[in-house]
Amino acid sequence: MDRRMASGIRPNPTLTRNQVELMQVDPVSAPELPGFAELEMSPRSVEFMLQEMLSSCD
């Protein structure tokens, strides 16, 4: 039997060990931390930011 299979690591795993580790951390900030309004920020979409970045290259 291949050592990788014996250790539980598949050649092309659906999820890697790193991905599983990252899923164990909550990416949402705690409610007691300041939000966008308190930091005087407004969220923008990736599409909006890419369009702004690409239009500034002209």
pLDDT tens-digit profile of 20-58? 999 998 888 888 999 889 999 998 999 999 999 999 886
Domain boundaries in the chain?
1-27
String of b and e for 2-38 (b: at least 16 CB within 10 Å)?
eeeeeeeeeeeeeeeeeeeeeeeeeeeeeeeeeeeee
Summarize pLDDT for 4-20 with one digit per residue, the tens: 555 556 667 688 889 99
Alpha-carbon torsion (21, 22, 23, 29), positive or negative: positive
